[in-house]
């Protein structure tokens, strides 16, 4: 697919799946309510008892666990949007709590690995080379591993396999298959479109805080669909 086709498809995708969009909104609202209630309860208990240990009771712990599970479910749901993009399906994912939460946990591991590896390489090289050389290498490694992490996310979404996602060499190889220039261009276009929309929302927010806040919440959900759909379509090539 061309860049214009990827962007146009990704921008219209959320509107083709209003039901899936509403599911994601509901998940976000649940996470926000649970987080807010847990924090308020925590501060209220600390204020009344003066002891953090008392505040960290069973109710608070349950609230935190539930909040984390919902966040993981949302992230796993986003991964399925990537998968549907790879398969070029136009429908929206359903909710599969166990698998999606598990995939979100796998994604955290993937992100950690793709962050740690370049840090280790830079730390080792810094023992032998000068500062300016390390800065150049660090920049190159950051770009390569950031793009490889995109590919790893797609590999995880496609296969549900942590091993496939952690195949760093293959993930880096996928960059050349997709096209380095096309990958960078897609990221830049998404960033520009998002920035323009945020500027408009910011202007509206100055006129009306409630309307601006509502639009920002809607755009946050829209962006998750738009962004992850684009990644999936890009990888499908």
Q: Write down the residue that tokens 């308020």 correspond to.
A: 40
The answer to whether residues 85 and 228 touch, using CB atoms and an 8 Å cutoff, is: yes
* 118 alpha carbon, distance to own chain's centre: 20
Range scoring the smallest mean pLDDT among 54-58, 64-68, 105-109: 54-58
10 Å Cβ neighbour count for 153? Answer: 23
Residue 138, classified by CB atoms within 10 Å of its CB into exposed (0-12), middle (13-18) or buried (19+), is middle
Surface-to-core class of residue 4, CB atoms within 10 Å of its CB (0-12 exposed, 13-18 middle, 19+ buried): exposed
Least confident of 103-112, 130-139, 207-216: 207-216
More confident residue, 128 or 189: 189
pLDDT at 55 over 50: no
d(CA 95, CA 213): 27
Tell me the pTM.
Answer: 0.79
């Amino acid at each position: 697919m061309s860049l214009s086709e990827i962007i146009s498809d990704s921008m219209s995708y959320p509107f083709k799946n209003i039901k899936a969009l509403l599911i994601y909104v509901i998940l976000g609202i649940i996470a926000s309510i649970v987080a807010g209630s847990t924090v308020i309860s925590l501060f209220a208990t600390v204020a009344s008892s003066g002891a953090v240990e008392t505040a960290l009771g069973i109710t608070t712990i349950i609230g935190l666990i539930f909040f984390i599970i919902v966040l993981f479910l949302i992230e796993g749901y986003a991964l399925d949007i990537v998968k549907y993009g790879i398969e070029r399906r136009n429908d929206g994912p359903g909710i599969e709590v166990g698998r999606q939460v598990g995939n979100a946990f796998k994604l955290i591991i993937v992100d950690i690995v793709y962050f740690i590896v370049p840090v280790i390489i830079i730390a080792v090289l810094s023992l032998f080379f000068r500062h300016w050389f390390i800065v150049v290498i660090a920049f190159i490694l950051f770009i390569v591993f950031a793009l490889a992490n995109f590919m790893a996310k797609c590999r995880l979404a496609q296969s549900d396999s942590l091993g496939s996602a952690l195949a760093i060499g293959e993930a880096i190889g996928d960059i050349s298959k997709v096209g380095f220039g096309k990958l960078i261009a897609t990221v830049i276009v998404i960033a520009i479109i998002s920035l323009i929309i945020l500027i408009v929302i910011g202007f509206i927010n100055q006129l009306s805080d409630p309307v601006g806040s509502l639009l920002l919440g809607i755009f946050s959900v829209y962006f998750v669909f738009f962004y992850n759909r684009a990644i999936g379509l890009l990888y499908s090539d």
